[in-house]
Structure 1
Amino acid sequence: MNSQYQNRRRVARAFKMRGLAVQASALDAMLNVLKRESPHTAQETLHMILDEIKERMMSSSNTSQLSQLVVTKRLLSDVVADMSRDGGDFTDEAVQLLDAFQMPRLAYDSMRKQFTLMTDSSEERSLFAEAPHKADMYAQRYGLIQQRILRQDLFRPRLVTADGRRSDESNATHVLTPVESLLGQSGLKFLLGMIVQVEEGRYYLEDTTAQVPMDLTGAEILTDGFITENCIVLVEGEMVDGIFQVVRMGHPIIETRQDALDAIGLQNTDIFNSMSSLAEQEKMREQEIRHGQDGEFVILSDLHLDNPVVFEKLEKMFDAYQDLTPLPIFVFMGNFSSKPLTSAREGPKMMVSYFEELANLIGQYPKLAKEGRFIFVPGPNDPGMGSVLPRPPIPAFFTGAIRSKVPHANFVSNPCRMRYFSQEIVFCRQDIVNKLRRNALISPSNGDIDKEDEQRPVQHALKSMLDQGHLSPLPQSFSPICWQYDHALRLYPLPNALIVGDRVKQCYESYAECDAVNPGSFPSDFSFVVYRPVGECNGDEIKSDVEFSQIG
């Protein structure tokens, strides 16, 4: 009895030495925790718990109010629970998926210059939108790019000082001219507008004020990437006989994710509803630095389940990963059949059997089946809405076997977004490279792409999407979109990583602090990508890691 009293006084004194008051219930809970420790480690455990409690309370409380520095039983339980978890527990909690049809929409009011995050419950959305929604879709695309351009130093007006001079006159700025203001003006002008084809073979530049016919024959392209109809471009040129003669043209100036977040604000960019305050964001960032290196993604595209060789290679891959702790997250992108699903009676039956076979293969690895996370992103030929984006998940009718045998299998929309700690990752499966090549109005800035290596067209395509802030900057006739869900295809603010599954060669491009990756087509040479969002940490700096792999 005397020993218990002495232990209680000793622990209470340890709280007091750190300037903390403790409730009786919390003190009893701490004594119960220390009972489970050996005499050699109890003192060290006590100090570690108290240090963590003090750090949390000092970072979230007003230290002038001593009443807030009272340790409650709930706080103590939370700290002990967090310290008892391993890296795998943190990694599991760090992953959050967001369906394209549930994603909040970032709306921009160009008149008030205000952002608003609109949830699906605050506005009605439909797959069968009306004509005004199409106009609003393009107006929002234009407005988001325009506000980001106007914040660039090149287009930001200089302040006028008291003596009438402009500050920083050494750096000249440019003015964006509205299309409606071109009439009667001469000389070179800078315009921002969308390329539209009003008449067959004749292109116009359109902004929110008007449209003007333009001549691209002498245009010089200043940026990498494909420029197609429906792209929003920065152009320099002049009016000649009612036609805007383009001298130079390029994609809009890119903006890093952090710059966009600073301009928009945390409350309008938290699409996952996971970071309610800067303190929460900082805490998540600390966990990311501490535990993020435990997470990796194994990404395969075109997982043709009707190909027996694909199953042989999957078996080899599962053999290699089954004993890892923690397990990687497997991201499987469609198409899940080498041939489109037919409407004949046997078509759906065959697709069901393919997923049953995959479920049986995963079931041969008990740890993978029980603990492994699998994410399935539908491809353009998989059951669903055809080539329209965004696409809903593969219907449960086809995937029941996997859902029943693999508890952590997630069938998601295309595209799909994921939160990994504080990072945002976008997964999308579409054959975008060849579409952009076929629709390019002018070759990219470095010449004829037909003479380049295989990776250059992929790099051009990835940069086009990031510069445009959109996964499908193409005419609706080539890439139809659900108008009221166009925001699910936006890439603004830029994600930390963009994973686009295409049938072309593997490619990795780091652009404006965004990792853009194409994992390649798995059946062609059985190559895939291993992506680690937190490859290494140097202080507060995080570097990702992309590894191209192949199964022999």
Structure 2
Amino acid sequence: MMPIESPRKKSPRKPQHGSPSKRLKPPPPPFFAPKNTAPPLSAIPSSSPAFATPAHPLKPFQPPTPTKAAVLPIILPPATLRPLAFRTFTKKHSLTLTSSALQELATFIGRHCGSGWREEGLAEKVLEEVAKSWKNRNGGVIVDGTSPELKDILKTLEGNMSGGRIISGPRGLSRQNSLLEQADDSELSKTRMGLRPTPSLSREDSQAGMGVSSSMDVDDEPDDETLRDPRSWLKVINAFDQPRYTYNVAKKHFEKITTKPSLFPPPSHKTEAFRNRYNVIHQRLLRNEAFQTSAVTTSRLRRTNSAAMQSHKITPIANLLGCHGTNHMLLGMLSVLPTGNLAISDLTGSIALDLSHAVAIPEDSAWFTPGMIVLVDGVYEEDEEQVGKGLGGNSGVGGTIGGKFQGLFIGQPPCERRRVTLGVSGPDGGPDHTIGGGFGWIDFLGVGSERAVGSRMRKLEQRLLRQPSLADPEAPNRGRIVIVGELNLDQPRTLQALRKILSLYATDPEGSTPMTFVLTGNFTTHAVMARGGSGGSIEYKECFDALASTLADFPTLLTTATFVFVPGDNDGWVSAFTGGAAVPLPRKSVPELFTSRIRRAFASANSEAGLSGEGKGGEAVWATNPARLSLFGPNHEIVLFRDDISARLRRSSVRLKGKVPVQEETAADGDVTMSGANGSSTPQPAEDMDIDSQPPLMSSPPLQNLNLDGSGPSRPPQQRQQPPQTEPPLPYDILAARKLVKTILDQGYLSPFRPSIRPVHWDYTSALHLYPLPTALVLVDTTAPAFCVTYEGCNVMNPGPVLVPGRKGVARWVEYNVVSGKGGRVRECTF
């Protein structure tokens, strides 16, 4: 009889299905066991291991009770969310929501916040996060629901929300990169209104964009010795690296162009370039007081019945159809028809222009050439014989309208000050304080926007640059920029003149030498690559080798200053196929192949002085034409441009016939002001600042009442207390300089010519815009007299050639002092 085994001894050998290898496989160790299947702890002691009983008795499975119910999506109507969105976006952050953006936010909040969007305050936190992220990305004043920025923000929030709440911390949103630092509502409101923010408000992304360390506060004294030098806050921005913006008429804001630029774009980009240039000037004109209508102006006009209080109105060219014999004011570009006649074009059409009886307002104060955008006041005359004929006949939009526009008065669109464009207060909170408006949040140069970091950079400039110069204002200081004009290196006397100029600054005390030297071309007299008299590439490199030998004699300047080289039309490589003719703008810098010896001279000087580390010692920067210098972020913007634009204006300008008749009972007005070479921008007597005498007021066209400085309509004759006295005529050099400066700055464009006269790269026209108005413009023009003029707060300087024509042994240059605020001054020396 077989013995009966005990059931307990059979328990380790329970029947198993499968292969023998699986039956012999031991159970997995507790370390690899799933955590959610581990039995709960029990106080009951375990049985003997020999009987293979579990360590703890099993309990029936109980599903875990959730700590909080999941969010149940709801349908949230946009009208219900509108009051809360208005308080958050409009009143607190000065933003405007479109209907599509409100719909997107309502859908997002209803899906992720559920019914607790109002009671628990979940929607307010989401709206606050979206508004801050939108401003951090410089999305603009108008929040559009179709913009990719808003969709990206909502997608980021969706991945960082739990239970309708935004997760912050290591696994949530990074507050350092996407939001402003913690600040109370009062300070945030002050910032949105355009007031100067307190030091506690910072913007990490803008500081990083300027090269400021995230651990450094600019309100504190910089720990790094190199950051205490004002030159470390200087940045050279090439034209091909500058951010590209276009003006959106629907949003009334600038938008950044994200498409990749090309030197060979499609023809449609040429139209886009003209449209953007027109829209920028048009919106600038509408911001002027003379083109704004209000109830106050209307009531005052009814009381006084004065034409001086009348506001101007711009008529689209397409709206001239059917308005025979009526007076209108047009804003458009001067162009030349295939027949050779002048025409004016805007975004709606073109019309033949007759300027045979037109006069300039003010008289002889600016140039007018085809390619410029001008204001023309006159009468439309419809030609019945050309109805349905010609280029477009009377078709209107998109074509040439029949008839002609008899221009009686023509003028430049008034300029706009930089502070008004940016909508911020002055550096010292002065009388030019402006609240709200403007484009202060736009980072036009990629160094940080004015409203974000401008106030903090001004404090840093005051501590590093201005306070040391207050001890002795007449002593040499660090905030000087030396601008040397055309430097023809193939002429031996040029290097002698440059050596004399550098020797004057090499003797300055330590720590007081200029921070920047600007050397401009043409670096050869003729087009070197076309072998136009200056040899070829070998001779071209020998010229720069000779310049390197001259610079090597001044190691003090090489180790403490930044030398910026701006090329001309005769420099390589572009002169190889143009022969010195007008080349497309912007143009690239001189190739490194020819400048290796100069770079080696800087490296040797820094190595001998022990300043070979990164960010230490001087450097040579080969910039494009044009280029920009940024000092202390957006506080100082200096445009460098080399072009003989004065001669080109004289060759292609339109000659006007008539003059403004002078009435006996009224005298010329002196409201239009422009400072001279002393650089002062404060109000002075008319005899020191007038560009030209303002013509008397007449009853026909209202264009005469528009002031040159854009301050609005001029005063009526009965309000003028004293007529100006007869003055001697100003010298021709001063009149030519003021005429050139007014033309360029009012156009807000460095190349206001036809493409056949001065071609441009269509995708890089943003680098040619002068909007906002820069703080200084270096216009190196050898065909114009040397001058330093201040117009609408912009210091315009022209050093001319370094060798003064007609004067042997005389060198000329311009010294621009950033600290004094008086602009530049023309200096001369003998050698």
Query: Which TM-score tier does this pair reach, normalised by the shorter chain?
Result: 0.7 to 0.9
- Bigger Cα displacement from structure 2, 487-496 vs 451-460: 451-460
Q: Does the Cα contact within 8 Å between 1:301 and 1:335 map onto a contact in 2? A: no
Q: Note the C-alpha offset of 1:279.
A: 5.5
Listed one character per residue, the Cα deviations across residues 447-492 of structure 1 (whole Å, up to 9, x for unaligned) are: 9xxx961342232122111000011111111111111111111111
Q: Which of 513, 526, 531 is the equivalent residue of 2:816? A: 531
Task: Measure how far apart 1:152 and its partner are.
Answer: 1.0
Q: What is the TM-score with the length of structure 1 in the denominator?
A: 0.79
Which residue of 1 is the match for residue 737 of structure 2?
458
1:521 to 790, 801, 814: 801
Cα–Cα, structure 1 residues 284 and 543, in superposed 2: closer, same or farther, change >3 Å?
farther
| Residues 374, 493 of structure 1: alpha-carbon distance in 2 compared, 3 angstrom cutoff | same
Of the structure 1 ranges 357-366 and 270-279, higher mean CA displacement relative to structure 2 is found in 270-279
**How big is each residue's C-alpha offset from its partner over 1:243-302, in whole Å with a ceiling of 9 and x where there is no partner?**
11001110001111111112442232x233333573621111122234155311111111
Q: Which runs of 5+ in 2 are unaligned?
A: 1-196, 203-213, 384-402, 424-436, 470-477, 576-582, 604-618, 660-691, 694-729, 805-809
Which TM-score applies when normalising by structure 2? 0.53
In the alignment, residue 471 of structure 1 is paired with which amino acid? Answer: L
**1:220 to 1:276, Cα distance in 2 relative to 1, 3 A:** closer
Two-structure CA RMSD over aligned residues (Å): 2.8
Given the alignment, which residue of 512, 517, 525 partners 1:326?
Answer: 512
2:585 to 366, 375, 389: 389
2:602 alignment partner in structure 1: 406
After TM superposition, the structure 1 = structure 2 runs for residues 35-184 of structure 1, keeping only pairs within 5 Å, are 59-60=199-200, 82=222, 85=225, 89-118=228-257, 122-159=258-295, 171-184=309-322
Residue 350 (str. 1) matches residue 539 (str. 2)? yes
Contact persistence 2:788–2:826 (CA under 8 A): no
- Cα separation, 2, equivalents of 1:58 and 1:477: 51
Q: Distance in 2 between matches of 1:298 and 1:409?
A: 14
Aligned to 2:420: 259
2:5 aligns to what?
none
Query: Which of the pair has more CA radius of gyration?
Result: 2
Distance 1:371 1:133 in 2: 43
Take 1:84 and 1:452, find their aligned partners in 2: how far apart are those partners?
Answer: 51
Distance in 1 between residues matched to 2:566 and 2:558, nearest whole Å: 19
1:275 and 1:213 map into 2 onto residues whose CA distance is 45
1:277-331: CA deviation from partner (whole Å, max 9, x where unpaired): 7362111112223415531111111111111111112222222211333321110
Pairs aligned (count): 469
Structure having the higher helix fraction is 1
What whole-Å deviation, never above 9, does each CA across 1:171-191 have from its counterpart, x for those lacking one? 321211110001111321111
Alpha-carbon deviation of 1:375? 0.5
1:99-157, Cα deviation, whole Å (9 max, x unpaired): 00111122101233221233xxx221111122111111111111000001111111112
CA contact (8 A) 1:100 1:416 kept: yes
Change (3 A) 1:472 1:452: farther
1:419 aligns with 2:630: yes
Q: Which has the higher strand share?
A: 1
Match of 1:380 in 2: 569
The separation in 2 between residues aligned to 1:236 and 1:250, in whole angstroms, is 9
1:316 aligns with 2:500: yes
- The alpha-carbon deviation at position 410 of structure 1 amounts to 0.4
- After superposition, the Cα gap between the structure-2 partners of 1:314 and 1:466, relative to the gap in structure 1 and judged at 3 Å, is same
2:341 aligned with 1:202? yes
Cα deviation, 1:330-365, whole Å, max 9, x if unaligned, reads 100000111220345951111111111111221122
Aligned match of 1:220: 359
1:361 and 1:475 map into 2 onto residues whose CA distance is: 41
The separation in 2 between residues aligned to 1:507 and 1:346, in whole angstroms, is 33
Report what 2:61 is aligned to: none
CA distance in 1, matches of 2:766, 2:358: 31
Amino acid of the residue matched to residue 441 of structure 2?
Q
Contact 1:299 1:531 in 2 (8 A): yes
**Structure 1 Cα separation of the partners of residues 216 and 524 of structure 2:** 52
Q: Distance in 2 between matches of 1:337 and 1:295?
A: 30
State the distance in 1 between where 2:449 and 2:273 align.
28
Going from structure 1 to structure 2, the CA distance change for 1:353 and 1:158 (only over 3 Å counts) comes to: same
SS of the residue 2:246 aligns to: strand
Secondary structure of the structure 2 residue equivalent to 1:195: strand
Q: Which amino acid aligns with 2:625?
A: N
Question: Secondary structure of 2:489's match?
Answer: coil
Amino acid at match of 1:507: F
Q: Where does the alignment leave 5 or more consecutive residues of structure 1 unmatched?
A: 1-56, 63-73, 536-541
Which one of 458, 474, 480 corresponds to residue 759 of structure 2?
480
- Structure 1 distance, partners of 2:276, 2:201, is 40
CA distance in 2, matches of 1:377, 1:93: 20
- AA in 2 matched with 1:478: I
